[in-house]
Amino acid sequence: MDDKDLMKKAEAELRDAYDYDPRDPLYGLNKNDLRGTKVSRRTTLRLLAAGGALSMAQLLPGLRATPAMAAGHSGGELNCAWAGVGEITTLDPAQIGQVLQFQIASNVYSGLMHIDSSLVAQGDLAESWEVSEDGLEYTIKLREGVTFHNGDAFNADDVEFTFNRSSDPDQSLHSRVIANVAELQKLNDFEVKFVLKQPQASFLTKALERSSGRAMTIVSRGGLETLGLAQYGLTPIGTGPYMVTDHTLGQAVVLEKFANYYDPERPKIDKITIQPVDGVEPLAAAIEAGDIQYIGGNPVPTQLVSRFEENPNLAVDIKPGPGFQSVWINPWHPAMTVSDFNKPVEELKMEPGFMVRLAIAKALDRDLFITQGRFGYGVPAHGTINPAMGFFFDETLAETSEQAFDPEGAKALMAAAGYPDGAGFPDLKLQTTPNTKRDGQVVANILKVVLGITVIVDPKDFSIGIEEFNKMDIDLRLGGSGGDYDPDDGLVDWMQTTSKFNGPDRDTATKPFGFWSEAESDAAIDEQSVTADPAARRELVQKANAITSNKVACGFLYHPVDVLVHATSVIVPEDARIPGLHELDRISLA
């Protein structure tokens, strides 16, 4: 099926997914759809849509005809490297804060539900379930005969234990995920009932999900007692396809096939070693020498990608990445002051502070940045809405935005603001992390060449940098976000006046708002968050996105790509390719 058909099918599915009355607590589904041992694709899409978590990136893989892949054999050993990290700090879901950690944890634990790559929400430890008419009660029948890695039997007590643990902010970082649960009832040894305070579309698909959900990832009471909290985070005990047989902090995590996993078909590979590799050369050396055959964890350094692509023993799979990076500009800096973003753009363009702000954004030669900074791997960004968000992404923005690269225009603006060729303009400090220092140098150079201003790159340890960012003690900062699959992830988290990253610790007397505050886009973002109809939602999203772009909420730079590298001897079927995750129990060796 070619791209156009694909898109048509996708849009049809989307339309159907959003085709319900928002006041309906069951979102246009009937009880039977929500009961059973499987949630059909159509139903899952509906639930995701209602929960505001549906994205193109999740939709497309299930529609593509996957080429027939030679099936691998069962057994064998796999060596993996987790890139860009020195140690796997913790595998305790209550403490997990990094994507690379739950990439591993997702293979060691089970949740009640698990969404696979074709968007069928499979029951994981939930065998079947029922939802009440008012959408408030979820009765779940648990799978029997499941054991933990230490031999303990799994039953409803474990669900209760996990729930209580996760609800306590002292014990878990993720208590918010289940904040909507009024109570959890144990009906019998293998049946529980969640009673919600309000209908929640994403309950089955997000809150109970095993990987990113984390709140209801089932932990082992016995394991915690025997090992103690600290050791449990290193060598956890779960019910998942793999058990952790060895892990010293800073050394490799060794996973071995759990013989008593409830699904006899999985996992395929017997033993998987995950070595954290912090450094570019060692990573390249290791995979090229064949010491490792699979790379997970943080993104593969872009300078290595073309080299891996040319290597006949390696397979490289590139997908659009869900995220954005930009240059944040402090609107309270004396030379760049913008005290009111609500004025129309034409009026703003007459203020020197905004002129400078726009000049900086216009001077960003994004293509050059991607070539020089990212070795060609990336997509220019003009807003937080990224290509992985499918049809929400606005391709025309690259041309229509005020921020589009325009060196002449940028220079003219600087001159009009009173700084022809940057003369007399104060030096600016561009804060980066040690890892993004190089990107910062490319940006600083671009700004120097186009505008003639001096930008000093200021790499800071994250612990210092984040303090300064939250207090707004900076001029410019290079930063952004990843893992954004839904417009909410970009817009709500970053672009609203009340966003959690919008200068929360600033001195509100001298700085009434953070980095950006605009009423019209605030309203549009609020509305799109609860809008069901995809077409209407897209309009609102793109409207808000355009405002943030034209009025320079920040200088948007690029969208990264998602690169998977593995040896050709490793077979990674499409259903193991869930964005952001590594379904190790589905991959096999040739």
Partner 1 sequence: MWPARPLMAAYILRRLVGAALVMLAVATLVFFMIRLVPGDPIAAMLADSGSPEAREAMISRLGLDQPVIVQFWKWFTSMLQGDLGASIYGNNQPVTKILAEALPRTMSLAFISFVIALLIAVPAGILSATRKNTATDTVVSLFAFLGLSMPDFWLAILLIIVFAANLQWLPAIGYVPLSEGFWPWLSHLILPSIAIGTGFSAIIARMIRSSMLEVMQADYMRTAASKGLTMRVQMLRHAFPNALIPVVTVIGIAFALLISGAVVVENVFAIKGLGRVLIQGIQNRDYPVVQGAVLVVSAFFVLANLAVDLLYAVIDPRIRYS
Partner 2 sequence: MMSYLPVQDLVQPEVAQKKSRMRSVFGRDRKAQVGLFILGFFVLIAVFAPLIAPFDPNEMSLNMMENPSGTHWLGTDDLGRDLLSRVIWGTQISLFVGVSTVTLALVAGVTLGVLAGYYGGWIDTIIMRYIDLQWAFPNFIIAVYLVAVFGTGLLNVIVAISLAFLDDFARIARSMVLTLKEEQYVDAARVQGFSDARIMFRHILPNALAPLIVQATVSVSYAILGEASLSFLGLGVNPNTPTWGLILADGRSFISQAWWLGVYPGLAIMLVVLAINFVGDGLRDALDVRETG
Q: Which residues of the shown chain bind partner 1 in the complex (CB under 8 A)?
A: 86-87, 89-90, 92, 95, 97, 169-170, 173-176, 229-230, 233-234, 248-252, 275, 277-279, 281-282, 284-286, 288-289, 291, 461-464, 466-467, 470
Please say which residue, 10 or 368, places its beta carbon nearer to partner 2.
Answer: 368
Which of partner 1, partner 2, none has residue 371 at its interface (CB below 5 to 8 Å by kind)? partner 2
Q: How far is the CB of 518 from partner 1 (least distance, A)?
A: 25
Q: How far is the CB of 516 from partner 2 (least distance, A)?
A: 27
- Quickly count: other Cβ atoms within 10 Å of residue 56's Cβ: 19
> Shortest distance, CB of residue 286 to partner 1, whole angstroms?
6
Q: At 40, list the tokens.
A: 């059909």
**Interaction site with partner 2 (CB under 8 A):** 279-281, 284-285, 301, 303, 307, 368, 371-372, 434, 437-438, 440-442, 445, 456-459
State in angstroms the smallest separation of the CB of 465 from partner 1. 9
Residue 207 half-sphere exposure toward CB, CA atoms < 13 A? 22
Please choose which of partner 1, partner 2, none residue 457 contacts, taking the beta carbon within 5 to 8 angstroms, the exact cut-off set by kind.
partner 2
At its nearest, how many Å lie between partner 2 and the CB of residue 581? 27
Task: Answer whether 250's CB lies under 8 Å from 276's CB.
Answer: yes
Contact of residue 175 among partner 1, partner 2, none (CB under 5-8 Å per partner type): partner 1
Q: How many CB atoms lie within 10 A of CB 318?
A: 14
Question: Which does residue 213 touch among partner 2, partner 1, none (CB within 5 to 8 A, set by kind)?
Answer: none
Inter-axis angle of helices 302-309 and 280-289, nearest 10: 20
Q: Which residues pair with 430 in a beta bridge?
A: 457, 476
Question: Smallest gap, in angstroms, from Cβ of residue 289 to partner 1?
Answer: 5
Whichever of 301 and 487 has its CB closer to partner 2, that residue is: 301
CA–CA distance from 47 to each of 60, 370, 394 (Å)?
A: 17, 37, 25
d(CA 198, CA 27) in angstroms, rounded, equals: 13
Selection from 106, 142, 146, 145 nearest residue 236 by Cα: 106
Decide which of partner 2, partner 1, none touches 441; Cβ closer than 5 to 8 Å per partner kind.
partner 2
Residue 372 or 481: the one with the smaller Cβ distance to partner 2 is: 372
The least CB distance from residue 469 to partner 2, in Å, is 16
**Could you give the CA distance from residue 489 to residue 112 in angstroms, rounded to a whole number?**
24
Longest dimension (CA), the chain: 76
Nearer to partner 2, 252 or 457 (CB): 457
399 binds, among partner 2, partner 1, none (CB under 5 to 8 A by kind): none
Question: What's the angle, vertex CA 40, arms to CA 36 and CA 46, rounded to 5?
Answer: 115
DSSP-derived secondary structure letter, 199: -
CB 244 within 8 A of CB 255: yes
Closer residue to partner 1 (CB): 250 or 418: 250
Query: How many Cβ atoms sit within 10 Å of the Cβ of residue 372?
Result: 17
- Answer with the entry of partner 1, partner 2, none that 174 interacts with (C-beta below 5 to 8 A by kind): partner 1
Q: Which does 574 bind (CB under 5 to 8 A by kind): partner 2, partner 1, none?
A: none
- Nearer to partner 2 among residue 434 and residue 504 (C-beta): 434
Given partner 1, partner 2, none, residue 230, with its beta carbon under 5 to 8 Å by kind, binds partner 1
Interatomic CA distance for residues 32 and 50, integer angstroms: 18
Token output for 165: 């643990």
Nearer to partner 1, 404 or 466 (CB): 466
Contacts of 350 (CB under 8 A, 6+ apart): none
Q: Quote the least distance from Cβ 283 to partner 1, whole Å.
A: 9
Tell me which residue has tokens 């672009």.
495
Query: How far is the C-alpha of 179 from the C-alpha of 326, rounded, in Å?
Result: 32
Q: How far is the CB of 281 from partner 2 (least distance, A)?
A: 6
User: Residue 96: CA atoms inside 13 Å, Cβ hemisphere, count?
Assistant: 28
Find the shortest distance in angstroms from Cβ 471 to partner 2: 17
569 binds, among partner 1, partner 2, none (CB under 5 to 8 A by kind): none
* Nearer of residues 118 and 371 to partner 2, judged by Cβ: 371
E-strand ranges in 425-467 read: 428-432, 455-459
